[in-house]
A and B are shown apart, each in its own frame.
Chain A
Amino acid sequence: MLERFNIVDRLPRDPDLILTTVDRAVNLARANSLWYLLMGLACCSIELMQTGGPRADIDRFGSLFRATPRQSDLMIVAGTVTLKMASRLRRLYDQMAEPKYVIAMGSCANCGGPFDLSYSVVRGVDKIIPVDVYLPGCPPRPEALTEALMKVQEKIKKERFFVKQEA
């Protein structure tokens, strides 16, 4: 009976048994449940919807849309950020629970894009909030957004919360 709980002896010969660290387990869970906030600001959001649809199917990465920042881990800024929207966008980012990530989708969110010379457009969402992945394109294809999500997943898997960072 007690032999079942002797994990040290069981480990080398039991293929059902694996060891991991809390960091790896937590990162695995975080990376594969990236719920994104619906932040469709302009035409890029059509591509964002397509990515959530059955053809690109972002659901298979455990990623699905949420209509509230309280349940979101990822903000996909899809579209042009106007000066009027900027304060709202910043507030929504502040209301998201940690840890939070941002994908700047499309040229407008990256740098202002074709509206660079406009009087009412923020030249890049990174002026307001920290951005993890910049995704170029006008608009980017759903496949590109899928890869951006995979980049965020890679970034999450490298993070360490419980191990002391080496200075």
Chain B
Amino acid sequence: MHIKDEFGIILTIKKTSIVPIKPAETLTVLNIYGNIFMFFLAGLLFVFLNMALVRIVAPRRPNREKNKTYECGEEPVGSGWLNFNARFYLIAILFIIFDVEIVLVFPVVARFRDYLLRGEGMIAFVDLFVFAAVLFLGLVYAWKNGYLEWLRGVRKQLRVEGQVLRLKDWLAEQSRLEAKKNA
């Protein structure tokens, strides 16, 4: 079979040359884990090669004004490096409860009709209920320990941690024990 392409070059195509590639042949060089390894390697290289390319291509003209902290155009006051309250950590952890819940529940809900048509509606419902209940237990635990409250007294925090750290509290405890002994 002859085909003339747009440059006027005649290409010859043999009919026998069109052979479907067998899936087994594509895996001769690497096994399946090797493919995954190559995937990660390519991903890593993609990032670092692009960063190297940016180093070469992008213009780099730092100045005092550009290196300033971005404050919507205002003159920045103080340093941008400041500590955030550690309680944000707990809030972020609690967010994961709801986040994971929605991410994993949503696909089941989307396919719930299929379960119903197959007569497996109750199974799906119980599965989801148990899953949600486990996550809800985590929420109850956090609630009981007072992680949902933003303002917590030192005393309550110490009670939650099960220890008394302050000398004043220790002295009060000792004097209470003393009074009990004397009585």
Contact = CB atoms under 8 A, between A and B. Distances in A.
Contact of B66 (A15, A26, A95): A95
B70 A70 contact: yes
Nearest to B11: A13
B70 A68 contact: yes
Interface string A54-66: 0000000000000
B7 A12 contact: yes
B5 A95 contact: no
Contacts of A88: 72-74
A88 B70 CA distance: 11
A94 interface: yes
B65 A95 contact: yes
Contacts of A92: 73
B59 interface: yes
Contacts of B60: 98
A99 B73 contact: no
B61 interface: yes
Interface in A20-37: 22, 26
Contact of B68 (A13, A22, A68, A95): A95
Contact of B7 (A13, A68, A94): A13
B61 A69 contact: no
A89 B7 contact: no
Interface residues of B, number: 18
A22 B57 contact: yes
Interface string A90-109: 01101101110000000000
A97 B59 CA distance: 9
A15 B74 CA distance: 53
B5 A94 contact: no
A91 B68 CA distance: 9
Nearest to A162: B57
Contact of B59 (A13, A22, A89, A98): A98
Interface in A64-97: 68-70, 88-89, 91-92, 94-95, 97
Given A91-B65, A91-B68, A161-B57, 18 more contacts: A12-B7, A13-B5, A13-B7, A13-B9, A15-B5, A15-B6, A26-B57, A70-B70, A88-B72, A88-B73, A89-B73, A91-B73, A94-B63, A94-B65, A94-B66, A95-B70, A98-B61, A99-B59
| The 5 A-B residue pairs with the shortest CB-CB distance in the complex, in nearest-first order | A88-B73, A94-B65, A98-B59, A92-B73, A91-B73
30 contacts: A12-B7, A13-B7, A15-B5, A15-B6, A22-B57, A26-B57, A68-B70, A69-B70, A70-B70, A88-B73, A89-B73, A91-B65, A91-B68, A91-B73, A91-B75, A94-B63, A94-B65, A94-B66, A95-B65, A95-B66, A95-B68, A97-B58, A97-B66, A98-B58, A98-B59, A98-B60, A98-B61, A99-B59, A161-B57, A161-B59
